[in-house]
Amino acid sequence: MAEPVLSLRGLDIRFNSDGHRSRVVNGIGFDLMAGQTLGLVGESGCGKSVTSLAIMRLLASPPAEIAAGEVIFEKRDLLKLSERDMRELRGGRIGMIFQEPMTSLNPVYTCGAQIIESLQRHSGLTGRPARERAIELLELVRLPSPEKRVDDYPHQLSGGQRQRVMIALALANDPAVLIADEPTTALDVTIQSQILDLLRDLQERTGTAVLMITHDLGVVAETCQAVVIMYAGTVVERGRVESIFGDPQHPYTIGLMAAVPRMDTRRGRLAAIPGSVPPPWAQVPGCRFAARCPLADDRCRSEPPGLREIAPGHEIACWKAPIEGMSEMETHS
């Protein structure tokens, strides 16, 4: 059986601020295989982006603290590497596309200069070869007139063009893993589709494994082969996309899918999950979704469920599953 290129094991992340010790990520784990796109899904605040920053060792400490867990990449635990060794991997073997390119790209350097700096740092390219490689990368991500755009500053580009520059920068050194943190959030629908098509095409050509962080189930259905569903810092369901989308079993997953607007739905109120997410500092003795779940009982409220396999390649953290007719469960408030 093939080894995963990236594995998270029992990752536990806490923040200490304002007198609260918040457990933002609670013992999560998953495997990313070579050539695979894995979707990490959940609503805002569930711990998706914090997880990606922990993988890259970009969390500020304090206030962040990685209390437990492992992040295994190419048989090494990234959490135990020296900062010097991590700098060699970051931007080299592991690339990242951040949420907002306007704040991620340096406004005082040209787009080409920022790509060239990465090439110099990780690939040893300098001078004309580095510039030619930067132009080649901008052409690879389908940026119009790459010979001209290489000398443009970020503010001279549109949002979609800046995102393409970010992708070129992330791919500059042929990474084994690419982390894409909400890569289409700030873009209009047409540009979103173009960026997703570009990422899918680049992955097929390069074989890079992609961790796609998103709250958009449509993005997952279109681009991913596997999915991990997070709620309030925990993994509640994970498995192959066709399995989870075809037969969702966790009440939270079902609620997410029911809330997606559909063209064939009669006009009326959108489906919603009642209640609200518990704050990260809240001490929840059982399942963190229990207060919002119509199926919860005393066991759910007192004993946290661990992940267990209910079908090949389909795991769930729920005492009630599998349940017949689960996909028809009422989720309206």
> What would the pLDDT profile of 258-280 be if each residue is shown by its tens digit?
887 776 655 567 778 888 999 88
Which range has the worst mean pLDDT, 1-5, 29-33, 117-121, 311-315? 1-5
In a domain? residue 44: yes
Is 54 in the same domain as 197? yes
> What would the pLDDT profile of 271-314 be if each residue is shown by its tens digit?
788 889 998 888 899 999 999 999 999 999 999 999 999 999 89
- Give me the pLDDT at residue 183, please: 87
Is 139 in the same domain as 16? yes
Is 71 in the same domain as 95? yes
Residue after which a domain boundary falls, among 162, 195, 224: 224
What is the residue range of 200's domain?
6-224
> What would the pLDDT profile of 14-27 be if each residue is shown by its tens digit?
998 777 788 899 99
Is 41 in the same domain as 189? yes
Residue 104 has pLDDT above 60, yes or no: yes
C-alpha dihedral over 239, 98, 76, 119, to 10 degrees?
Answer: 130
**pTM of full prediction above 0.75:** yes
Is 134 in the same domain as 213? yes
Number of domains in the chain: 2
In a domain? residue 333: no
